[in-house]
Structure 1
Amino acid sequence: MQNFNFQFFDLTHLPVDVTRASTATVRFWARRQDSWILLLQEFVDLKNLQFIGTLEEQHFPVNSLVFHLTDGFYSADIPGRPREPKAAQPVPTSSYNALMKLATLDNSIQDALATQQSIREQINAILETKPPDPVPQAEDRLELAKKYLALERKNVAAVKQRKKELEESIRLRRAAIRDGRAVQEKAERDVANARDKLDSSREATATTREQIRGQKRRICSDLADIFDIRPVPDGPPLSFQICGIPLPNTTFDAATSRTTGEDELSAALGYVSSLTDHLQYYLSMPLPYPITAFGSRSSIRDDISLLTDLATRYQARGREFPLFLPRGGSTAAHFRFEYAWFLLNKDIEALCASQGLRVVDIRQTLPNLKYLLYSGGARWRGRARK
């Protein structure tokens, strides 16, 4: 027959008089058919148990008891085996006074626990013999009911206030809807009235636009007659003169140019400046570089370019460039004159672009102006002939 294996059990939840007892009674029951019978009963003194270490190579007598504790196996039926000393450093033990203090403290704790248990039992006995008083519970329920009542009243007041706000909001929305419908009806009436006038307004707009285009063509034709631009007799290709004064297409060089003097060049550029300045108003195209038309002493202004070489105090005055050759002929003055002529050509290019004309070379000042005036006044001449 094999030995039985029993489960471990814990005694920490039991009282101290049980866990610290040195004696115990061990009973074993066996089940036979459907009933249990007492098989063995032993009175064991734990002080007399002998340490046997392990169960291997041990010969146990019949019905011998073996106790498996935390540090090993113990038995009272076979001689014990001396324990092997552990390889550890000696640890100083407690003194007699410390042990007595610890025992006294433990006794005090046990007395306190016993007193607590006794008081608990007395209170339970008193509560069992004395009938319960329903008044405190009723008062507690009353206070709780009052709190709930106050909370519900507060919620009701908040709901009423919210109801008033919603009613006011609905009233304002209805008023806004009425106003919106009135405005919508008025807009529909205005649209209906405007539809009746739409066709006539479109015709009037188209007629006005056509008249504006006709006036622009007529003005271009008149300007072409006033500022007469025609080729220079016996001159090189694309050489034109304005009001009888020739104007070259490239930059002016006084050392090499013999056909045009400084005064004639300034006068020709003055005519071009005046014509360009008038065209920006008639063609409804503002010039990117404003022109101050003043005859042979005209000038042009550059407010777009970033001129870093100008001082702050002279920046406003330095952005004005002359369209004439100053007396003296210094290099800086000549450079400013050429830059002014370049800006004038850029203005003419902008006017041509506004009319859908493409400029091949912006340096051809008079040919580009002639092309612009001819394109703008061609239809007017054709209509006048008819």
Structure 2
Amino acid sequence: MHNTSILLPSNRAKLRNLTSLSLRNLSLEPNGRQRRKTIVDDDAVPQTLKSPAKMVALREGRNMRLEHSRSSGDLRTVGEEENAAGSPTKNRAVKERPKIGRMRRRSTLEWNNATPQRRQERLERVTEERMMDVFYSLHVGGIEEPIYISETVERTMNPTFRHIDFSSCGPGIMRLERVVVRVWVRSVKMGAPWRQLLELDVDLLGGLQWVGKSLDTLTHPLQNPNTLLFHMTDGIYTLPPPITPPQPQRPVNRSTPSARPHTLATSPFDALLRLAKLDDSIQDALTTRNKLASDLENLLQSNREALEDRDRVAEAEDRLKTIEFAKVVVGKQVEKGRKQVEEKRGSLDARRRLMREDVEWRAKEKSEMEDTIRPEIPALKEEKEVHKKAIRAQRRRICEDVQKIYPLTPIPKKSLAFTIRDLHLPNSEDLDSEAPETVAAALGYTAHALLLLSHYLHSPLPYSVEALRGSTTTISDTISKLSKTTASGTEVRTYPLYSKGVPRFRFEYAVFLLNKDIQLLLESCFGVRVLDVRQTLPNLKYLLYMATAGEGELPARKAGGVRGLMYPGRSASDASNSSARSGLLWPKEAANGKVVGNKGAVESLRKNITGVGKKG
């Protein structure tokens, strides 16, 4: 077989290239099937006496003489028998079997008349006798334990094992060219203990024969028993068949006319003499070659020191050139680095100078601004405090209005139980105590009131109310990880404040977000800590209480006051008079639009806060 391996034998013949093993034609008899006792008589054939054909043959042959049974090699046709007896050659045709007369006995094998069921049982029994459990182990020289033990393939005659795992082996083992393979088998039917079937010392370099790229490309079947296949990285190999000794030739019978004496031709004497002379010349040439090699070796040994000195000089010169070249390169790099350092120093000096000039200019500008604004700072601080008080008073008044719109009334004889606009909203742990419609409407009122308070207190809700639709209000979660991010952006999760027709957990989570809004408003605006976030209306009542708390009476609601609503044709004096009549807080302006003073506005604010002009 022609070897088409893509690797050289020196590269392939390593243990690391062995990937797997296969075994074909598994047999406990390595040299083939051993013949058992020969059936020398027809009576010893199984079921012979029970055969009807046998009984007929015995009846017909009672008066016939007893003849020895013939083997298959002695059976000849009728024509051959007549020819041997001296009959004419032309009568060699085989006679037909007589229709009536003595019947010949048919075969007595039990397979002929057996039923298909019996044939199947016999086939399964024969196959089960040959089925065995198989595994193998790999061994190398110098190591007592095996370097690899394969898995056990059960009930098989042609096992194919898994890939070999050499992860636990070092490079010293993976580079070996010899390996010992031991195959262990166990009979399935008898349940006998494991026994060693094969032990092969395999030379991976020269002891394998290439079979093909894979088992599918085999052109001839593997007929030898216990054929071991080695799966390498470039194909499949097997052990070559053993060399059989030549068969002795049969002695030729000289008495037969076919054996004719003949002579064999040989070489003449001159050719033999030339061959002898040529052999002498070859021997002389080999002697001369050996002598020249010895002389050259002695010459090299005598001049070894001079040769080594010459090699060292060449190496030193080469190293000196390398050092000089490295010196030139490093010099260039040092010069380039020096220039970069100088440039960076100049850049840093320029930056320091600009920073110093900027600091001086800013300090000068700050001092000039302080000199200009310092006289007005007390008046601005006083105006700021007045504005703060005015804003706080207006917020207090607005929160009072919200409390009137959405009154929170406590339920008698119940602790921490309130109604909003006569609708009872239980706490979060007891939402099922009221009807779903009542709870949804109360939650809608609560969300609306909370949204108004967030606007007036200038504190946005972290969980904003998306849609104010009474009993179908929804709230969104924009900051938690529950928000879903899509290709178009972040999709906000919206949760309903009603329980009808929606999953229960979404409704409960919406109520939780509403309670968290109330808690965050209390903590961010008033610094109040909430004890129980589940108490919705009690916490909202506390928030309104903190928003409406304050000293003094509530200020009056202002009418107008938006400059954009003034008519374009009105003069500055009309605008100031209108502002005075309506209680606006705008400063007086001159005809050119410049502010001429804020003292009147501050006084107006102070009077408004103290209740001057209040109407309820």
Relative to the length of structure 2, the TM-score reads: 0.30
Q: Comparing both structures, which one devotes a greater share of its residues to helix? A: 1
